[in-house]
Copies of this chain bind each other. A is one copy, B any other.
């Protein structure tokens, strides 16, 4: 369970605040606090990119302005999430010490400038980070207004591969490998280096993957990615240690990003007290917003699942982004809906980037609560105020509730890396994330909460585990699945599963237990189909289109429940079911459509008795998420359609905010979100 924020047992509402940009504008700083109060802001994040202002010269600290800001806010009841400022380095640091700047994959060291581009291995960088973190923690670590440490910012967000390829990192990588493999023989076998004479005969021959170097040894590439996560975590952990040393009861977090492939966020589980992340959905960029809503619901679920605890929405835009291809305004009500969606899935905050639009540089046109005009009479300011008001009304009751799913979908970073790095069968896009979210879609549509976990988590909490495209099967996961199904769990697997082990070596002589034994099939070959070779599967007297990938399998104990309908594998099994122990397992052999997933999972949840959050069929584009509390549960009924919907409720509820009773037909406006309460 997540460490609670002891000083602040409420839902947070506020966001990134960069007063360091406005120190020459005292009237602005004053106006900020007035406006924050009007907008029901109770908490801001400070100092994220302020290193140059906090330490204008090496070793010369200038913190008074920060203290004044914190105090002024605190006087008005506004708390501070305090950042360590390592997200961007000051010029004196990058110019004096070259080693702190990252080296790109092509071997070229960055110039000064930009952000998230420090070498996480560099002793100088670690020392300089420690120095300023120490000073910050000493000065503010026990300040009553400071409730949370915001360590660095969007780690790995260097706009490239999140990596530094400098000599220091090469050396650290070699040490990390020595520690992992002990001998070169073990490493050479694990990486299958006899391929193209890549055998390493000395540790110092090892270099990070590079387009003009080793680029086809997937074991190396996987391990490099693991190392990057580990080394980033090490840097991050040292910052945590520093600030915790001088502060009491202040938990740490670091803000994560949307399906960020470069860092394995599950590895942060034990090093972050409360998970936080930055969500920037491109609302209104498609025909409708449903699939995007589902993608972000999945993201929120991942964040909640890392620690199985409430998380923080640390950044979101109150209006629009400025860095997407086309930055469309949020339609009326969307800001409320999008904010409540986060809370519905377990967020204990709605925080924005940023409070006030910068005056210059590249984020000046990014949406903020206060614009350059500077007044409160804008649509955005009113939207934000409404969210603040609503959060405030519910804050004590929602704060300690959490979603408690009985369904888990496996989403595993290392598997994702391995799938995307492999050559074949489809090199355009293997669509791992898209596939995982397409399975989730069926549950979202039914109003069933789902956890997203990786192969290293326990399965005990669940009745149903879905493992799409587990190309890599980690050893312990195989064992855990066996136990899970033996004990009565239901397990769904799919095509492109069980191919390789953790070092990307193919299983020989048949796939390991999980597919052969639990699932009861053998895959012979996989057909990557293009638009000229359409296919479909027959299931429950209905035909469903499939696309992209069709696995040709043999039954080894399982029974076929669906069949291919076309091509030379017409009539061969495409969906199988296998009883195993007290449980059962399914194998979906081809990439199925939303329609199939809806029908298949609809039948499955009925069969195994998983309850929907509301016992009805929800209209298209509407979902219900449930936060469970000790005495009351909250149902977040969300309509992501741009038109109103209505449907019959299964029973009586109360409106969470005012206790008004509702039953019969529920009307939801376009982009509407109603919070209902059920009593235990």
Contacts and interface: CB of A to CB of B under 8 A. Distances in A.
Given A506-B359, A524-B378, A108 B49 contact: no
A112 B205 contact: yes
A335 B322 CA distance: 45
A657 interface: no
Interface in A567-581: 567-568
A189 B106 CA distance: 35
A592 to B, nearest CB: 18
Interface string A284-300: 11110000000000000
Given A508-B359, A508-B374, A287 B365 contact: no
A248 to B, nearest CB: 28
A427 B326 contact: yes
A362 B212 contact: no
A321 B503 CA distance: 22
Contact of A195 (B195, B363, B422): B363
Interface stretch (A50-58, A69-77, A603-611, A661-669): A50-58
The size class of the interface chain A forms with chain B is: 35 or more
Interface in A314-343: 319-329, 331-332
A635 to B, nearest CB: 28
Contact of A372 (B24, B108, B506): B506
A503 B114 contact: no
A460 interface: no
Contacts of A231: none
B328 A530 contact: yes
A503 B51 CA distance: 24
When all copies of this chain in the complex are counted, the total is 3
A214 B285 contact: no
Interface string A3-40: 00000000000000010110010001000000000000
Given A214-B111, A524-B378, A361 B196 contact: yes
Interface stretch (A215-223, A407-415, A433-441, A624-632): A215-223
A422 B506 contact: no
B329 A219 contact: no
Interface in A503-529: 503-510, 522, 524-529
A422 B365 contact: yes
B207 A112 contact: yes
A191 interface: yes
Given A52-B201, A331-B567, 16 more contacts: A18-B194, A49-B197, A53-B194, A91-B200, A110-B212, A111-B214, A113-B213, A191-B360, A192-B359, A196-B361, A218-B361, A326-B425, A326-B427, A327-B426, A365-B423, A372-B506
Pairs of residues from A and B, 6 with the lowest C-beta to C-beta distance, nearest first: A192-B360, A322-B424, A111-B213, A113-B214, A195-B361, A52-B197
27 contacts: A28-B508, A49-B195, A49-B196, A49-B197, A91-B197, A91-B205, A92-B202, A111-B207, A111-B210, A113-B207, A113-B215, A113-B217, A114-B214, A190-B360, A191-B361, A216-B361, A284-B530, A319-B525, A323-B423, A325-B427, A327-B424, A328-B527, A331-B567, A360-B504, A364-B506, A365-B422, A373-B510
